[in-house]
Amino acid sequence: MEGGGRPSAAQAVLLAASTALTALVYSVYRQKARVARGLEGARRVRLDGDLRTVLLEAPGRCVPYAVIEGVVRSVKETLSSQFVENCKGVVQRLTLQEHKMVWNRTTHLWNDYEKIIHQRTNTTPFDLVPQEEGTGVTVRVMKPLDAAELSLETVYEKFHPSIQSFTDVIGHYISGERPKGIQETEQMLKVGTALTGVGELVLDNTTIKLQPPKQGMPYYLSSVDFNTLLQKQESNVRFWKILTVVFGFATCAVLFFILQKQYRHHRERRHLKQMQDEFRQAQDRLMREMNAEGGETLKNACVICLSNTKSCVFLECGHVCSCNECYWALPEPKRCPICRQAISRVVPLYNS
């Protein structure tokens, strides 16, 4: 603690940082909890002949947040894999990722480093259709790339290692970067994939559309079933809740430590003030007692000890100001306590 009981700069910074982290983690927890509550309250609809009737009866022919499950079917032409034969899909993502080792000058270790150097995503319009044929009901999926969770299957993956000469190896050690190679990946949302869609379900003329919701809730196109998706979100909420409790406890501990230090400082100051008051009262009491004994007694008291009676005359100055014991206690060469003149001899004083 600094003077005046204020927290030190380090303690103030620690408390501010802990409070800010707690607030940040708590805000993330509230956001995750809101998403989980919204997902739990989403309306589950079946992809069957009654779906159009449900939307006709809904306000504005719209269900703001709905859950629907179906199978992916392309509307027009499908996308073909560049590496796998007879692999058709509606979303295709091609990625080139660089892998290398980077020297860390702080830890003196080589760390793995990955960087996407090129990525291209191709899409084609597609619908969700029932698993059972013959119902004739389809749902057009809009803006699939805006989905918070878009389940793509990796259909091709190959790593191309770097070919290095001895000179290249030496240069890499000097520069602090060692290339490992390039990883080529192809991911696709294949035709026939069972998909769980969570979003806004709307009837636009004769077309039923699934699109990103307008209330700020997340848009999902997941290959897992709805219960698994909900459990995943609830598990995420529990994680952030525990993290919030931990950071909150740490903030409370720091605050308790600072308050305890302030309390101890306040208690020490109060004790010191109490001692000063007691000393001042004792001085006042002593002065009153001395005044009560009479001015003559105080007048004849030794100016050094203030307890014995004056009993010495200092020559040549002639001052009568000390008792015999205090005279012998004066340092050599002895001088008068009143005028600081050298004392040549002392004559005893006898009071009759």
Q: What does the pLDDT look like over 261-315, one tens digit per residue?
A: 888 888 888 888 888 888 788 777 766 766 665 555 566 778 877 778 888 888 8
Q: Classify residue 147: in a domain, yes or no.
A: yes
> What pLDDT sits at residue 155?
93
Helix or strand or coil: residue 221? strand
- 99 and 246 part of one domain: no
Give the count of domains, the chain. Answer: 3
Last residue of a domain, one of 191, 224, 257: 224
Helix or strand or coil: residue 171? helix
Taking a C-beta distance cutoff of 8 angstroms, is the pair 93, 189 a contact?
Answer: no
Residue 342 lies in domain: 312-348
pLDDT tens digits, 122-160: 999 999 998 876 667 889 999 999 998 888 999 999 999
Cα radius of gyration (the chain): 45
Question: Stretch 110-130: mean pLDDT, rounded?
Answer: 91
> What pLDDT sits at residue 291?
62
Question: Stretch 222-232: mean pLDDT, rounded?
Answer: 90
pLDDT at residue 164 greater than cutoff 90: no
Taking a C-beta distance cutoff of 8 angstroms, is the pair 327, 312 a contact?
Answer: yes
- 208 and 119 part of one domain: yes
Q: Residue 145 CA to chain centroid, in angstroms?
A: 31
- 82 and 203 part of one domain: yes
> What pLDDT sits at residue 159?
93
pLDDT at residue 2 greater than cutoff 80: no
Which of 167-176, 229-238, 320-329 is most confident?
229-238
- 258 and 175 part of one domain: no
Please report, as a single letter, which amino acid is at residue 125: P
> What pLDDT sits at residue 322?
86
Q: Classify residue 1: in a domain, yes or no.
A: no
Burial of residue 127 (CB within 10 Å: 0-12, 13-18, 19+) is buried
- 59 and 140 part of one domain: yes
Q: Classify residue 296: in a domain, yes or no.
A: yes
- 210 and 259 part of one domain: no
Question: Stretch 98-111: mean pLDDT, rounded?
Answer: 87
> What pLDDT sits at residue 342?
87
- 247 and 319 part of one domain: no
For residue 123, give every residue at least 6 positions away whose Cβ sits within 8 Å of its Cβ, in sequence order, or none: 79, 90, 91, 92, 144, 145
- 133 and 96 part of one domain: yes
- 57 and 88 part of one domain: yes
pLDDT tens digits, 40-75: 989 999 888 888 888 888 898 999 999 999 999 998
> What pLDDT sits at residue 261?
86
Nearest to 189 by CA among 148, 220, 153: 153
> Phi and psi of 116, rounded to 5°?
-80, 115
Q: Classify residue 6: in a domain, yes or no.
A: no
Helix or strand or coil: residue 187? strand
For residue 243, give every residue at least 6 positions away whose Cβ sits within 8 Å of its Cβ, in sequence order, or none: 25, 29
Helix or strand or coil: residue 253? helix
Q: Classify residue 122: in a domain, yes or no.
A: yes
- 145 and 247 part of one domain: no
> What pLDDT sits at residue 286?
67
- 35 vs 164 pLDDT, higher one: 35
Q: Classify residue 120: in a domain, yes or no.
A: yes
- What's the pLDDT band for 323 if we cut at 50, 70, 90? confident
Cα dihedral 68, 71, 77, 83 sign: positive
Question: Stretch 105-122: mean pLDDT, rounded?
Answer: 89
- 318 and 198 part of one domain: no
> What pLDDT sits at residue 296?
54
Residue 336's beta-bridge partner residues? none
Please report, as a single letter, which amino acid is at residue 208: I
Last residue of a domain, one of 163, 194, 224: 224
- DSSP summary character for residue 281: H
For residues 176 and 274, give the distance between their C-alpha atoms in angstroms, rounded to a whole number.
Answer: 67
Helix or strand or coil: residue 309? strand
Q: Classify residue 5: in a domain, yes or no.
A: no
Q: Classify residue 14: in a domain, yes or no.
A: no
> What pLDDT sits at residue 284?
74
> What pLDDT sits at residue 196?
92
For residue 2, give every residue at least 6 positions away whose Cβ sits within 8 Å of its Cβ, in sequence order, or none: 8
- 291 and 337 part of one domain: no
pLDDT at residue 15 greater than cutoff 80: yes
